[in-house]
Structure formats: C-alpha cells, structure tokens
Amino acid sequence: MSLNIRHDVPLAQCGTFQLGGPCQTLYDCKTEAEVLQAVRELRETNTPWLLIGGGSNILFSDHGFTGTLIRYWRDDSDINFAGPETDRLIEVSGSTPLDALAKWTCEAGLAGLECTTGIPGAVGGAVAGNAGAWGQQIGDRVVTVRVVDPAGTVTQLTRDELDFAYRDSMLKRSDLILLSAQLQLDTGDRSDLLAERERILALRAEKHPNLETHPCIGSIFRNIEPTSAAGRRQAAGWFLEESGAKGCYVGGAELFSKHANIIVKGQGCTAQDVHDLCAKLQALVHEKQELELRREVRFLGSFAGSDVTDRFF
C-alpha cells in the first residue's frame, strides 16, 4: 500500500481555525489499514509522531510543527452495522466526521447520537474527548473500541476500560489511536430523529459561528466543574460575560458576538493572537471571579509566552 505522505503542508489547511504554519511531514490517512501501516513504518525508523483528526479542537502555531503528524480523517464516512440491523449495534471508523455519523444514525432510525449533530471533528477525537451536548455524550453509547499503540499493536477496549468522564477519557491521556468504535443505539422514528436534527442545527446556527465566515475551534474553555467555587457545573461563557469579556480582542482574534466562550478569526488574525486572547480571558475571570478557566482546546507548536505544547494522540 502506498501511503499519502506530504511535506511542508500548511496546517491552516488541516483545522477549522484555518491558522498555522507548515508541518514538516504529514501522513494523510483515511482508513484503519493506512494508520496501521503509518504507525509501523514510523516505529521502524524510530520517528516520533503526533495524531490529529479534523483539527476542530486544535490551535496550530504560526511557526508550524517541526516533526511528523499522522492525520486520521476522511471527508465521507465509514459506518456499518456490526451484526443484524435489529441489534442496533454499529461500527464506525475513527476517521469519520462526527456530524456524518449523527446524520447517518438519524436517517437509519437509530436514536442516541442526535445530540452530536453539528459538532465538528472526527469520531476518534469525539470518543477520546467524550463529546456531546444537551446533557448527553457519545461515551454513553460506546460498547468497545479498537486502538493501536505506538508499537503497532492492536487492542480492543471496553467502555469501562475507557474511564469516561465529562469531556474526558483515558484515551485523551494515552498514546493510543482509536481506529474504530462499536456503538449501541436505540430504535427511533426516522422522521422524528431527522426533525430533531434540524432543530439542533437551527439552534447551533443561532449561537455558534458559521465556520466558512467565522473560522474557529469551538468553545475555548471547559465548563466549570462542580467541585470548584462555582458549586455546580456552569457554562464558562457565563463567567466570561459576568467578568466583562464581551468585546475583548487581541490583534485579529476576537470573541464571537453571540458566544463569549468562542474566539473567531478576524482580519489579520494569527495563532499567537488567539493564544494571547486565551491568556487574557483566563486572567480576567481569575481577577473577577477567582476561578481558574481550563482550556478545552489544545495548542500544538511553539507560542511566545508559553512553555506548554500539548502532546496528544
């Protein structure tokens, strides 16, 4: 099999923020077989690598990335029933766009994932980060996953072994790539599910940016945990608004007018602008609310004023 290996690829083409400098080497993989081959080839040459998916939760540095990335992403979908259709158990590739999965299940009359409608990114990242909305998350539906480690060994893990929590799982903190996931769904009415999908899309359009006109990477900060001074989990955007964050900007990075927890790309925006606005917002909420906002998005590469570069798979 011949892999799609590219060099000096603009990372602005690999994420929804449309920011970032060149990546030295990018393995562009759509299928499980391609990922396995890439991991095993890189192991043979002792080449370190990092994984990305749809790039909907990553801020790429203006300086790019000096190293190797494996991109596990496809524009279409790879979804099948894992047994008889009546069992409502499906298997989906980690490279499948999450919204494509939501649409497929609604059209198939399968309930349980309509909450993920309109959420960008790949299924692999969604499972690792336990993505969700409206009080539900994809981890609730996971039965098993197939993963590969940096040595190229494939393993199957159960839902209990994944240790799901709010926007978190053990996958998020590991060196494993999610190849595919089996999800257990419920029987639903196709018409009702498609109507619910349209309702959610309309709600998201009211509150979230259109990525074509306002590139972004979604909510910047995690909601406030129950164990914090907030007393219960509350939207980070509320604390940002209460702290006077609306209207804040740094260079071309600015807060979205309809959502205080989303930074959008304005004219002349750089990744460094976004990084600096994040720090400014964290300092503001700390001063006004005595709360520490934690980033939900990840940074990749070097940024002035920060020693932290997230390592993720």
Length of the chain: 313
User: Is 169 assigned a catalytic role?
Assistant: no
Q: Can you give the residue range of the structural domain that contains 113?
A: 79-205
pLDDT in tens, the chain (313 residues): 799 999 999 999 999 999 999 999 999 999 999 999 999 999 999 999 999 999 999 999 999 999 999 999 999 999 999 999 999 999 999 999 999 999 999 999 999 999 999 999 999 999 999 999 888 999 999 999 999 999 999 999 999 999 999 889 999 989 999 999 999 999 999 999 999 999 999 999 998 999 999 999 999 999 887 654 555 568 899 999 999 999 999 999 999 999 999 999 999 999 999 999 999 999 999 999 999 999 989 999 999 987 655 543 3
Closest CA to 180 of 104, 100, 116, 92: 92
Are residues 295 and 184 both part of a single domain? Answer: no
Please give the tally of structural domains in the chain. Answer: 3
- Asked if the structure places residue 244 within a domain, the reply is yes
CB burial string 268-290: b at 16+ within 10 A, e below: ebbbbbbbbbbeebbebbeeebe
User: Is 95 assigned a catalytic role?
Assistant: no
Burial zone of 86 (CB within 10 Å; 0-12 exposed, 13-18 middle, 19+ buried): exposed
Are residues 158 and 242 both part of a single domain? Answer: no
Note the pLDDT of residue 55.
96
Note the pLDDT of residue 288.
95
Indicate which CATH number applies to the domain containing 28.
3.30.43.10
- For the chain, what is the radius of gyration of the CA atoms? 19
- Asked if the structure places residue 313 within a domain, the reply is no
Q: What distance in Å separates the CA atoms of residue 174 and residue 50, rounded to the nearest whole number?
A: 12
Catalytic-labelled residue, pool 228, 296, 302, 306: 296
User: Is 191 assigned a catalytic role?
Assistant: no
Are residues 199 and 136 both part of a single domain? Answer: yes
Catalytic-labelled residue, pool 219, 243, 254, 298: 219
Catalytic-labelled residue, pool 71, 159, 167, 298: 167
Closest CA to 303 of 11, 17, 61: 61
Are residues 179 and 200 both part of a single domain? Answer: yes
Q: What distance in Å separates the CA atoms of residue 274 and residue 267, rounded to the nearest whole number?
A: 12
Are residues 156 and 255 both part of a single domain? Answer: no
Note the pLDDT of residue 311.
47
How far is C-alpha 195 from the geometric centre of its chain's CA atoms?
A: 25
0.95 exceeded by the pTM? no
